[in-house]
Chain A
Amino acid sequence: MNIISQQRINQWLDKRIPAANAFQLDHRNIFIFPAKFGLLYLMLCLLLFLLGTNYQNNLMLLLCYFLLALFLVNLLSAYVNFARLSVSMGKIPEVYASDDVYLPLWINADKSLKTPMHGIVNIGFMGQKVNQWFDCDAFSNPVSLSYPCQHRGWQQAERITFSCYYPLGLFKCWTHLAFNRKILVFPKPLACPLELVPAPLSSEETPRASNNLSLNTNQDDFSHLKAYQIGEPLRHVAWKQVAKGRGMLSKEFNGSSHNVAWLTLNNSTAEHIEKTLSKLCFQVLELSRADQQFGLDLAYIRIAPASGENHRLACLTALAQYPTIADKAGFN
C-alpha cells in the first residue's frame, strides 16, 4: 500500500517537476503548507480569541487578529522568498563504491536579484531525514550534498528536497527537484600487488618486460623539458626550473613509452568478479599515478595501452560499466 502510494507520488512528481539541469523555483514546483509551528500558532490565536472574548478585552482580540493577519501575510512572503531560489548541479566529482558522492549544488549562482533570498534552507534527499542546511545570507557556492553510493555502475540520485521556513517559520515551503545527471560509480579500489601481463602477440607493440614490472621510471633516461600541462604528474615537474622563475616545465623521459603492459580480467568466478574489478581499479589508479602506459582488457571491451588522465577515466568507466551478474542474466 505504502509502496504503491509512494510510486504514485513519484509518477506525479515526474510529471509535475521533470528532471532538468537547472531550476528556477516558481508556482509549478513550490509546495507550501503550514508548518507544525504554524498550527501551534493558530491554536494560540484561537486561545487568545477565546480569552479576549471572555474577558471582553479588545486589546487581546486586536493582538489575536494581528497575529492572524501576520499568518496570512507570511504565507505569501514565504512563497515569494522561496521563489527566489535557483539551483543547478555542478560537475560531480569521481566517486568509488561504498563511498559518498558529494553533489555540488550551485545556488542562485548566475543571478543578481534586487532583493536577495533570505533564511536557512534545508537540503536532503526526498523521503530521508534532512541532513544539511545552508544559510542564504552566508554561504559559499557550491553547496555540497553527500549521497552514499553502495554499488558501482550508473546511479540516479534521488530527488533533492529543498525546504525553507523563512520568515517566521509558520509555513514550510519545499520542493523536490530531480537533476538529470547520472552518477557513474567506480568500483571500490582494493589494494593488491600489480598483476601486469605482457602484451598479447597480436599487439603491434614489441613484447617486453615481465610480470614483476617495476613502477620505477627513474631508470628511464631523461630526454628533454617541455611545457607543463595540466594532468601530468607533479613528480615530473622540473621544480628547479620553477624556482629559477622559468615557469612550470616538466621533464620528459625516454623510456616510459616502452613499458607497455596489460591489465586483464582473469576468467575468475562470478562470485569474485566484483573483487577482481576492485583490484583492477586499484591497479589502474596506481599505474596512472606512476604515469605508466598500460592497456585494459575486460572481455567485453579492450582499451589500447596509453597513459594520462583521459586514459585513466576511460579505464575506470569501463570497469564501472562491467556488466553485473544481473545484467548477464538479463534481469535488467
Chain B
Amino acid sequence: MSLWHKFIFKSKRNKVKQSAARDRQHQANNPAFIICSLVLIIFDLSLLDTVLGWISLLVACSVTIRIAIYFAYQKHMPTLRTLNLLALLSIIGLIYSAWPLGFLIGMVNLLVLACALKLMQVRSQRDFYQLVVSLLFLLGCGFIFQQSMAFTLLYSLLSLAVILALGFFHAPNLKVKQQLKQLTMLCLQALPIGLLLFLLLPQLPPLWQTPKAKSSETGLADKITPGDIARLSQSSELAFRATFEGNAPTQQNRYWRAIVMEDFDGRSWQIHPLRKQNRRFQQLVQQEFSPIVAGPSIDYDVIAEPTQQHWLYALDIAVPRTVKSQSEIWQSDEFQLISHQPLVSQYQYALRSYVQTMPRQPLSELDRKLNLSLPTQGNPLTQKWVSTLRQQYPHEQAFINVLLDYFKTENFSYTLRPKPMFVDPVDTFLFEQQAGFCSHYASALAYSLRLGGIPARIVAGYQGGELMAKARQQQYLSVYQYDAHAWVEAWLPDSGWTRLDPTTLVAPDRINFGLRQAMQEEGSFLADSPFALARLTNIALFNNLRLLLADMDYNWSRWVLGFDSQKQQDLFKAIVGKLTPQRLAMLGLAIVAVIGLLLTLFFMPHWYANRLNPVQALYQKALTLLGKNGQIRAHWQGPLDFSLHIQQHLPEAISQPFKRLTESYLQLNYQTQGQDKHKSVSHKKSINTMRRELRLLKNQLSKHQFL
C-alpha cells in the first residue's frame, strides 16, 4: 500500500496531535486559573463574616484542587458527576442556611459558592468566561460591604488581577512582564474614560427598593439597659462625620440626637411601641411632622457610616436642607430624623439646625401621656425619695435643681466599668453604688422626673467629636462610637423641652474634653482594643498618623463615596454655567468628542507602527514616482536590475539619486546585521539618505516632466 507516503506525513500529523495535547495542557497550566483562585480566596477572606463558614471551606477546597492541578500534583479534575452532586447538595445547604440572612447576603454567598464550584469545574473556554464574569460581579458586590480606602484598593487590585487572568488566557505564552505591560497600558487608557463617564453620566436615584442586608447592626442600640455591663464607648470606629458650612458649635453644644426613648419598664429604656406604630402609619399616608423653626441656624452635611438601621444623627432641631435630603429623610414627632432606606453603605445628607428653637415646640397630649408613664413596680426607694422631695419642692425648677444637686453633692463617680445592677437598678445606682456612666445617670434622672410628674425622656446619640480644622478647608467633625452618649429631655411649662445632662455634673471633663480626658485616670478608655490608634494620642507621631489617615478617609468619603447628583450638578454648573438643555446637550457631545479624542490619541502611534517600515515605504514611494513616469518595475526585476534599467533609460540627473536610494535600500534590507550599537546610528543615517535622495528624485522628475 501507500505506506511510504503516509510515513512522510506522519511527522506532520504528530505535530497536529501534539498541538491538541498542548491545548489540553495549556488549559491546566495556564496562570489564569491560579490568578482566579487567588482572587476568590482573597475576596473570601476579606468578607469572612459575611460568607458562610462552610462556603469558605468549599472555596479553600476548590483553590487547593486548582493549585494541585497547576503544579501537576494532581492530574485529573473532579468528574462532572461529582461536581453536579456537590452543586446540588450545596444549593440545598445554601437555601437552608442562608435563607434567614436575607437576599443580599444570600446572593453574595450564592455567588461565592458558584465561583468555587466553577473553579473546580473549569474545562472549556465558556466555563472560564463565566468564572471571570462572576468574579467581577462578586468584586462589585464587595463594595456594598466594604467601602474604606484600603478595601477599595484591595478590590481594585483584585479586579485588575481578574483582567490579568483574562490576558493570560488569551496569550498563555506571553511573558509575565510583557503581559503586565500590555494590560497596564490598557487599564491606564481605560481609566480616564471610566472616570469621565463616572463624573458626567447622570447619577440616578435608586430604581427600586433595595433588599435590606440583615448583617449585624452597629452603632447605637435602640434599647438602653443601664444595669447591664458597659458595652458602648469601647469602640474607636467612626460613627459619622459632619462638615460645617460655617463654624462648628462648641464642644459643650455638640449633642447629636439619634434615638428618643420614651418607654421605661423599670430596667430598660426603649422606643415606645406606640411611636413605632405611629411612624409606620404616618409613613404609609406620607404624613410628616414639621417642627416650628426660627432663629439662628447652622448648615452642615453629615456622612453617616453604615449601620444597617434607619435613624440619622442631627443637632437640635434639624430639618433637611436640600431637595434630595428632604425626599429621603422623614421627620418624626420626637425630632428624630429617619432615613427611608437603611444605611447599608455610607450615606450623606444635608441639614440645617435651628439651635434655639427647642423651647418653642409644643407638647402634644400623646407626648405628655407617654413621657409621664411609669412602670407599675420596682425601685421602691426611689419612689419614696422622690415623693418626699416633690412635697418639699412643688415648683418644677426647684425640684429639678434639688435632683441635680443630689448628683453633685453625693459621692457619685463616672466610670466605664460599673458593677452590674440587676434588681431595682435605679435604687441600686442612686443609693448604693453611685458609680456609672451616662445612661445610668440619664435613666435615674428621667425616672425621678417622671415620678415627680414632669414629662421626661432619654435621648441617645453622640456627644462631642473631634474637630478637624484646616486653613483652606471647611471644618469637619469626626464622631466616633466612643462618643456615644445619653441624656435627658424634660418638658417644663416655661421653657418647653429642656436638655438635662446629669453626666456633666459628675464628670464635666466628659462633656468639655471628651471621653478620652474623662477616662484618663481610670485607664478604661478603649481598654478592649489595645492597638487602636486612638489610644496612642500622646505619641505625637502616631497621633499625626491617625489624624492624617482620618483626614484622607474623610476626603475619600466626602468626594468619592459621597459624590451624588447634587455634586454632579454643581460640577456641571462649574463647567457650563447655567444648566439649559442646549448646554447639557453640548456637554454630552463634548464628552463623546473627548472620549473619541482620547482613543485616537492612544492608538494613533500603533496605527503608524503597524504600517510598512520606513525603508520599505520610502522605496515604494520612489517606485510609484517612477511608475507615474512610465518606468514600471517588472515583477521579475530585482532592485539592482531595475536600477540598471533606469540608468539605461533615463538621464543621469534622475538615475543617480535613484541608484543611491536603491543602494541604501539594499544595504538596510539585506546587510548582515552588525553590532547593535552601530546599527541604530547607521540605520538612521541611511534612512535620512534615502529621504534626501527621494526628494532629489522628485525634484528632478518634475523638472524633466517625463509624462
Contacts and interface: CB of A to CB of B under 8 A. Distances in A.
Given A48-B137, A57-B143, A168-B167, A115 B606 contact: yes
Contacts of B152: 59
A69 B197 contact: yes
Interface string A253-291: 000000000000000000000000000001001000000
Interface in A54-70: 54-70
A65 B610 CA distance: 30
B171 A119 contact: yes
Given A62-B198, A282-B2, A70 B610 contact: no
B395 interface: no
Interface in B133-190: 133, 136-137, 139-141, 143-144, 147, 152, 155-156, 159, 163, 166-167, 169-175, 178, 182-183, 186-187, 189-190
Interface in B175-214: 175, 178, 182-183, 186-187, 189-195, 197-198, 201, 203-208, 210
Contact of B197 (A65, A112, A114, A120): A65
Given A58-B560, A168-B166, A120 B194 contact: no
B194 A54 contact: no
Interface stretch (A5-13, A74-82, A319-327): A74-82
Given A73-B190, A96-B5, A165 B170 contact: yes
Nearest to A53: B204
The contact size tier of chain B is 35 or more
Contact of B140 (A48, A118, A144): A48
Residue from A62, A67, A132, A166 having most chain B Cβ neighbours under 10 A:
A62
A114 B612 CA distance: 11
Interface string A147-175: 00000000000000000011111000000
Nearest to A82: B610
A55 B344 contact: yes
B564 A56 contact: yes
Contacts of A166: 170-171
A83 interface: yes
Interface in A223-245: none
Given A40-B133, A55-B144, A58-B561, A73 B602 contact: yes
B135 to A, nearest CB: 10
Interface stretch (B12-20, B385-393, B483-491): B12-20
Nearest to B204: A53
Interface in B203-257: 203-208, 210
Contacts of B9: 99-100, 102
Given A77-B186, A167-B182, A72 B599 contact: yes
B603 interface: yes
Residue from B137, B140, B208, B607 having most chain A Cβ neighbours under 10 A:
B140
A106 interface: no
B254 to A, nearest CB: 27
Contacts of A83: 610
A68 to B, nearest CB: 7
Contacts of B155: 59, 63
Contacts of B603: 76-77, 80
Given A54-B208, A56-B345, A59-B143, A168 B170 contact: yes
A247 to B, nearest CB: 27
B406 interface: no
Residue from A56, A76, A102 having most chain B Cβ neighbours under 10 A:
A56
A60 B140 contact: yes
A23 interface: no
Contacts of B609: 113-115
The contact size tier of chain A is 35 or more
B572 interface: no
Interface stretch (A135-143, A194-202, A213-221): A135-143
A271 B318 CA distance: 103
A301 interface: no
A251 interface: no
A314 interface: no
A260 B381 CA distance: 139
A109 interface: no
Contacts of B171: 118-120, 135-137, 166-167
A67 B135 CA distance: 13
Nearest to B130: A40
A52 B175 CA distance: 36
Interface string B589-621: 000000100010011001101100100000000
A147 to B, nearest CB: 12
A137 B171 CA distance: 7
Contacts of A168: 163, 166-167, 170, 186
A246 B96 CA distance: 87
Nearest to B197: A65
Contact of A120 (B15, B136, B172, B210): B172
Contacts of A20: none
B203 to A, nearest CB: 8
A52 to B, nearest CB: 7
B129 interface: yes
B191 A63 contact: no
B262 to A, nearest CB: 32
Contacts of B190: 66, 69-70, 72-73
Contacts of B15: 144
Contacts of B193: 69, 72-73
Contacts of B2: 96, 188-189, 191, 282, 285
A65 B159 CA distance: 13
B16 A132 contact: yes
B186 A70 contact: yes
A232 to B, nearest CB: 18
A290 to B, nearest CB: 13
A166 B130 CA distance: 17
Nearest to B167: A167
Contacts of B169: 169
- Which 4 pairs, one residue from A and one from B, show the smallest C-beta to C-beta distance? A69-B193, A66-B194, A69-B194, A138-B173
Given A55-B210, A59-B147, A60-B140, 19 more contacts: A36-B129, A44-B133, A56-B206, A56-B347, A56-B564, A59-B155, A61-B198, A63-B156, A65-B194, A68-B197, A69-B192, A70-B187, A76-B603, A119-B174, A132-B19, A134-B19, A167-B171, A189-B5, A191-B1
Interface of A: 26, 36-37, 40-41, 44, 47-48, 50-70, 72-74, 76-77, 80, 83-84, 96, 99-100, 102, 112-115, 118-120, 132-138, 144, 146, 165-169, 188-189, 191, 282, 285
Interface of B: 1-2, 5, 9, 12, 15-16, 19, 23, 129-130, 133, 136-137, 139-141, 143-144, 147, 152, 155-156, 159, 163, 166-167, 169-175, 178, 182-183, 186-187, 189-195, 197-198, 201, 203-208, 210, 344-345, 347, 560-564, 595, 599, 602-603, 606-607, 609-610, 613
16 contacts: A50-B207, A52-B140, A53-B204, A54-B210, A55-B210, A55-B344, A58-B561, A58-B562, A63-B156, A63-B159, A66-B159, A66-B194, A67-B136, A84-B610, A168-B186, A282-B2
